Structure 1
Amino acid sequence: MKRIIGAAILAASMLAAPSAWAEKLKVGFSPEAYPPFWVPAASGNWTGWEPDFIEALCAEAKYECELVPVAWEGIIPALLGKKIDVILNSLRINDERRKVIDFSDKYYEVETEVVEPKDADFGIEPEDFDGKIIGVQVSTGYQTYAQKFLAKNASEIRGYATQDEAYQDLAAGRIDAVLDGRIAMNEFFKTDLGNCCSSKGTLPRDVQTLGEGYGAGLRQGDTEIKDRLNAAIAALRTNGTYDEITKKYFDYDIYGK
């Protein structure tokens, strides 16, 4: 995987309109479709829940934000190398990443589902994956979860650069199952390709691999940015802006518990 807060003119452009705000923030994101969070427009811009949220967040925190496209596998190195100032791209909060970066408070979370062909006759317990090939997007909590809990049974945990590629192989019968978040999975089911498959159930929550929700990725020690973003997240939740944006894309609360 988009205009209550504005027109989301967001390719690599300014999100918060230039004003007296002197502070600028380079916001890293991976330029791949992840509906309804990130949806490419024909103009080359990006729309979706997360661009809307980022625009509102930057305005609330009084930052002039610039979206900077970065390949997903290089997004944390880009942050550490100071090519960007923050990652706002559905980055899962977990202890492994905390070894090298810091996080804001979460701004949404999602359950993890097992997607299989509709006629598949196996479930979601580890032993159900005996001899199966499981597809996951690389450098995600889904990959870590599969390696931790399912690798002993599965014949292979196959990594993909994008979730779309994993789904394409699932639909083509080249793999047996895919792990994905509930929100992105539902978007897949809306496509023609998604007619092949269904969810076989929700995986048990494991904080170490699936994290504590999704937050902004920050360099360790960038406390001022962290404090301002946290205050802005809280304000958007309190003043109704968060719910206003969310209702455009979802018929349920994505913030979680």
Structure 2
Amino acid sequence: MKSALKTIALAAAIGLTAISGAAAEQVRVGFAAEPYPPFTSPDASGNWEGWEVDFMKAICAEAKLDCVITPVAWDGIIPALTTNKIDMIIGSMSITAERQQTIDFSDKYYNSPPGIIGAKDAKFDATPEGLAGKTLGVQVATIHQVYANKYFGAAGATVKEYQTQDEANNDLAAGRIDAVQADSIALGDFLKTEQGSACCDMKGTVKDDPEILGLGVGVGLRKGETELKDKINAAIKAIRANGTYDTFSKKYFDFDVYGG
């Protein structure tokens, strides 16, 4: 009888271990706490939505990961990753050589050029000459801040830094600054709003500089997390191949957001 009970107990233990082993690995995904439509923003109930939310859900399902959105202030998001407060970053973070000194990246999952917007009645283009003498708003700790300081600040523009993209857009709409630089897709989304369409238009995209602007947007990962990186890269490749990527992208864009 004791032998039978031991056999049953051992079988139960093995069963519990198998169930536990089959559970999806939980991964804390760092999102910028500030809204960045159409990529990420909380709805009225505080639930996150947007293209990158759909992207996260698709790759996590493909990689069999239990992903939990963890909002972090943008200027502290890399330190949050390196100090193990989060496990990866999905936040329109460009793959740059400077960032690669501190963190690792997945393969690219989208790419779009930075744009410049300004008041509709202002006649200038997205060049250092066009912005000379003007005040240009950028979000701190972004490639746009670095680019604007190098190309526009050095040519006579005043570069004003903001904690969030919304603050920069609001100041532009109120006439307190002349222009804003950010991702052209995010700026296009702002121009579709009542506030944006009333005040502003796109002045153009900036000249490329891969050293600053990077090689597209990737998932930020801690250095040495090879297994997680391999899972994410395999998932990106799979959703691109099986049509999932195109399906959710069509809800937001009428062009190929993956880019060149």
Q: What's the TM-score, normalizing by structure 2?
A: 0.89
Alignment size in residue pairs: 240
Q: For 1:37-74, what per-residue CA distance to the aligned partner results, in whole angstroms no more than 9, with x for missing partners?
A: 11322221111111111011001111111111111111
| Offset at residue 250 of structure 1 (A) | 0.9
CA contact (8 A) 1:115 1:177 kept: yes
Distance 2:251 2:202 in 1: 24
Match of 1:220 among 205, 214, 223: 223
Distance 1:230 1:128 in 2: 40
Give the letter for the 1:164 counterpart.
D
Question: What's the counterpart of residue 93 of structure 2?
Answer: 91
Give the letter for the 1:167 counterpart.
N
SS at the partner of 1:82? Answer: coil
Question: What's the counterpart of residue 112 of structure 1?
Answer: 114
Look at both structures and tell me which one has the larger radius of gyration over its CA atoms: 2
Taking only aligned residues, the RMSD between alpha carbons, in angstroms, comes to: 1.4
Match of 1:202 among 194, 201, 205: 205
Give the letter for the 2:46 counterpart.
G
Question: What's the counterpart of residue 232 of structure 1?
Answer: 235
CA contact (8 A) 2:105 2:218 kept: yes
- Indicate whether 1:45 and 2:47 are aligned: yes
Mapping of 1:120-135 within 5 angstroms?
120-135=122-137
CA contact (8 A) 1:124 1:200 kept: yes
Give the letter for the 1:129 counterpart.
L
Identity, % of aligned pairs?
55
Which stretches of structure 1, 4 residues or more, deviate above 4 A after TM superposition?
none
Q: What's the TM-score, normalizing by structure 1?
A: 0.90
Give the letter for the 2:214 counterpart.
G
| Offset at residue 155 of structure 1 (A) | 4.0
Structure 1 portions without partners, runs of 5+: 1-17
Distance 1:154 1:171 in 2: 22
Match of 1:211 among 214, 223, 232: 214
Higher relative helix content: 2
Question: What's the counterpart of residue 22 of structure 2?
Answer: 20
| Offset at residue 123 of structure 1 (A) | 2.0
Distance 2:258 2:157 in 1: 35
